[in-house]
Amino acid sequence: MPLSEIVQNPGHEKADNDELFLVDASGYIFRAYFALPQNLTNPDGVPVGAVMGFSNMIHKLLTDLHAPYIAVIFDAARRNFRNEIYSEYKANREAAPEDLVPQFPLIRDAAEAFGLPGIELDGYEADDLIATYARLATEQGKRVTIVGSDKDLMQLVNDKVRMYDPIKGKYLGIEDVHEKFGVPPDKVVDVQALAGDSVDNVPGVPGIGIKTAAQLINEFGSLESLLDRVDEIKQPKRRELLTTHAENARISKKLATLDAQVKVPFALEDLKARDPETPQLSAFLQKHGFKALLNRIGQNAPAKPQAAEAALERTVRPLPDLIPSIPHPSKNEYTLITDEETLKAWIARAYETGIMAVDTETTDL
């Protein structure tokens, strides 16, 4: 993953006074897992790289971006109503990485430590709950920010709903969706119905990709109009594919369309953000050795007897010791980054420290 995609300066744009932030937990967890080194562990030896990334992101949303309303939305069991529509939906998904599995409950613990509701609902995906909360909020005149970059959520973007990619530190709006899909957000599901999705095992129409799908939807207006007027397609092979796989396209649209009418378990008022600097949060951060984040919330670890402190240091090593290839700045040394693992190590240190400065040098040739 390019460095620019991981540490781009997000700025400090503040939220509206009643803006609702909806965190797509699952999507962020996997991105944090693969972006950060996978050898970070807590004092008990449990991997916590994704937990650390999640905790830092939530802290930023609550402090730098001042999210006034916020909820963390999780996927429930893998099977949901879409499997009743198409039994092979997501059947090709591999199991989560072995060292990520024990981090799932810890991330739920992190959300609770920050005083945030962790919401999931059997029979539905996180995206459906996000769609429902976005609808409820905009009906009340609230602005909505979806924290995540999942392309399936782009269908929800409008003049009141935007997305925020916490890895890139970038907001995504209507123009960004159009740039990705070639159509406005309300036509995204029509494009997905034609192009399918190999990641989620959504069939679509063979031989039709995003670019061709967008061209067809822009020309015919919608999937149904295209299928009703398929005889107008000039290319014989394309006309044949659309005719043969019309039902798969309709099924794919049902799979791609988010359900915005879910009976959600929390009211909007229950999602009001709380003060993140609590004893519960401090205890959670201390338990997992997140010292830099403890410092940022002004809760340094309590003093300990010398012997106990030495024992703790042997268990929870500072990040530079975890990655011995990174020299301490006081030694006036440098590291030449020539491989992905070294880059990830530096990025992890930047996340843990919370502050990073970059100096660039240029030479006229």
pLDDT, tens only, 283-324: 999 999 999 999 988 765 444 433 333 333 343 333 333 333
Nearest Cα residue to 235 out of 251, 249, 219: 219
H helix runs in the chain, sequence order = 3-7, 25-35, 49-63, 81-85, 103-113, 126-139, 174-181, 188-195, 210-220, 223-228, 236-244, 246-256, 279-287, 291-296, 306-315, 319-322, 340-353
pTM for the whole thing? 0.78
Nearest Cα residue to 86 out of 225, 217, 213, 247: 247
At 2, phi and psi to the nearest 5? -60, 150
pLDDT, tens only, 114-163: 999 999 999 999 999 999 999 999 999 999 999 998 999 999 999 999 99
Which three-class secondary structure state does DSSP give residue 361? coil
What is the C-alpha to C-alpha distance for residues 216 and 213, in angstroms, rounded to an integer? 5
pLDDT, tens only, 31-76: 888 877 778 899 999 999 999 999 998 998 888 888 999 999 999 8
Confidence of residue 220 (pLDDT cuts 50, 70, 90): very high
Assign residue 316 a region: left if phi > 0, alpha if psi is -120 to 50, beta otherwise?
A: beta
Q: Which residues pair with 146 in a beta bridge?
A: 22, 163
Contact between residue 12 and residue 66 where contact means Cβ atoms under 8 Å apart = no
Contact between residue 197 and residue 150 where contact means Cβ atoms under 8 Å apart = no
| DSSP states of 203-271 | ---TT--HHHHHHHHHHHSSHHHHHHTGGG---HHHHHHHHHTHHHHHHHHHHHS-------SS-GGGG
What per-residue confidence (pLDDT) applies to 176? Answer: 97
Confidence of residue 343 (pLDDT cuts 50, 70, 90): confident
| Other beta carbons within 10 Å of 325 | 11
At 96, phi and psi to the nearest 5? -65, 150
What is the C-alpha to C-alpha distance for residues 324 and 173, in angstroms, rounded to an integer? 41
